[in-house]
Amino acid sequence: MSEKLLLDSMIKRARPRAKPYTLNDGGGLFVIIHPDAKRYFQFRYSYGKRQRRMQFGAWPRVTLAEARKLTEQQREALSKGRDPITARRLGKLQKIAETEGTFASITMQWLKRNQKQWSQRNYDRHVGLLRLWLLPHLGALPITQINTVNALSVLREIEAKGVLHTAHQALTTARMIFDFAISVGVLQTNPADRLHKALPPRPKTQHHPALSIDQVGPMLRALEAGGTYPVTKAAIRLALLLGLRDTTLRTAQWKEIDFEGAQWNCPAEHMKGRKDRKREYSTPLSKQAIAVLKELHRLTFRGPDTCVFPGSGKNGRVSPSTLGDALKRLSFNATTHGMRALLTSHLSECGFRQEAIQAQLAHVHGDQTDQAYMRSNFWAHRVEMMSFWGQTVSALEMGKPTPQVKGDNLRRIRAADDKQ
């Protein structure tokens, strides 16, 4: 650990300010001083190119010496390639599993078996449901003694809290664990198999609001006139021009942008999907998209590893709600996912190849052989297609007639694809 910078007396004398601030002890250990004078220890670290924060508790209940000891433990875990937060979550679940054969112990095996192939988001969702709902009620029970009545009582309690969607999610998690227990020879039947019939139907899915083609021009003009923060404005424009997913957009770094080659090369970790199916993705950049990125480069470039869209959100990036909130302030109820839907529908109507549209949206289909084919094909088509879409967006903003695709052009583009 690096040289220790704090003393207990320094923490005690630290006066609160209008906003929280930190005292640095070195090695990733900080003390956060809140406006209400409460002081909390926090360990900050990087794991898998992500900045993460672990809470150690309040001072003086947790002493400076104890916080330093905890910091050393977490740094040791990092040196062995383990994420401290994930390790702590697994440790809590492990404590619940007192004997082999309990619901908790089978759950631990199930989590370890699947963690590598799940996305972090999927893993965290299952762990949250287990920690809040399933393990407190079922964890200590031998899994062979859990019946439909036991499982249903948990779901009824969740339903009574008014979170029906969560009840269905918890049921899905429980069924997967019981299925795993059957696969390893612990159970013969799944006690949760028919419980979905005992719950009210799932709430209807709320589809992502999408812009209509007629709203594009008014939205872009309102965006320019509305005083929207320049970084947010650029993100909205690029979401519309490229059809990228929100996460791919927000996590972008400047090293991904190839101005000379007119393309954006997104690493696999910024893409949606299971860990074993994620792959790198590239999108052509139209003249309109390059113009937005060059203006943004002047504002936010601080090196190749810096964020394209810096903000006050988690990890110093634009937060997930920023773009949607900005559009709502302009009286447009739309999302980046809805812009993807608009791009799909309009380009389909104009006659562009469906496979090229799906490739532009980074939709993954088939096995790895199919994916390799999809990745290598349709680039010429997509270059022309995104250039056409950029011209369309520009025309809509200026209130001019939109370009039309001639059949000869489409045949020429398809022929270029077939040669790849």
284-316: pLDDT as tens digits: 999 999 999 999 999 999 999 999 988 876 567
Instruction: Please tell me the predicted confidence (pLDDT) of residue 97.
Output: 46
Q: Please compute the mean of the pLDDT values over residues 45-67 and round it to a whole number.
A: 91
**75, burial (CB in 10 Å: exposed 0-12, middle 13-18, buried 19+):** middle
Q: With bands split at pLDDT 50, 70 and 90, how would you rate the model's confidence at 90? A: confident
For 149-171, the pLDDT digits (tens) are 999 999 999 988 888 889 999 99
The percentage of the chain sitting over the pLDDT mark of 90, rounded to a whole number, equals 43
Q: What does the DSSP 8-state code read for residue 118?
A: S
CB 388, CB 350: distance < 8 Å = yes
Which of 3, 80, 85 minimizes the C-alpha distance to 42? 85
Residue 110 has pLDDT above 90, yes or no: yes
Lowest mean per-residue pLDDT among 18-32, 174-188, 320-334, 366-380: 366-380
Q: Please compute the mean of the pLDDT values over residues 64-91 and round it to a whole number.
A: 88
Which of 256, 243, 236 minimizes the C-alpha distance to 306? 256
Q: Please compute the mean of the pLDDT values over residues 93-110 and round it to a whole number.
A: 75
Residue 178 has pLDDT above 90, yes or no: yes
Instruction: Please tell me the predicted confidence (pLDDT) of residue 94.
Output: 59
For 355-410, the pLDDT digits (tens) are 888 888 877 544 454 444 444 458 888 898 999 999 999 999 999 998 887 666 66
Q: What is the pTM of this model?
A: 0.53
Distance, in Å, from the CA atom of 86 to the CA atom of 113, rounded to the nearest integer, reads: 15
Which of 376, 395, 364, 359 minimizes the C-alpha distance to 276? 364
Q: What does the DSSP 8-state code read for residue 243?
A: -
Identify which has the larger pLDDT, 173 or 415: 173
Instruction: Please tell me the predicted confidence (pLDDT) of residue 254.
Output: 93
Lowest mean per-residue pLDDT among 59-68, 267-276, 312-321: 267-276
The percentage of the chain sitting over the pLDDT mark of 70, rounded to a whole number, equals 85
What's the chain's average pLDDT? 84
Intra-chain end-to-end CA distance of the chain, in Å = 54
Distance, in Å, from the CA atom of 155 to the CA atom of 167, rounded to the nearest integer, reads: 5
Identify which has the larger pLDDT, 314 or 132: 132
Residue 419 has pLDDT above 90, yes or no: no
Instruction: Please tell me the predicted confidence (pLDDT) of residue 103.
Output: 93
Residue 122 has pLDDT above 70, yes or no: yes
For 237-274, the pLDDT digits (tens) are 999 999 888 888 888 899 999 999 999 998 877 665 55
For 3-38, the pLDDT digits (tens) are 678 998 999 999 999 999 999 999 999 999 999 999
Cis before 60? omega within 30:
yes
Identify which has the larger pLDDT, 1 or 31: 31
What tokens does 231 get?
A: 């970084």
Q: Which domains does the chain carry?
A: 8-82 (3.30.160.390), 87-198 (1.10.150.130), 213-418 (1.10.443.10)
Distance, in Å, from the CA atom of 361 to the CA atom of 358, rounded to the nearest integer, reads: 5
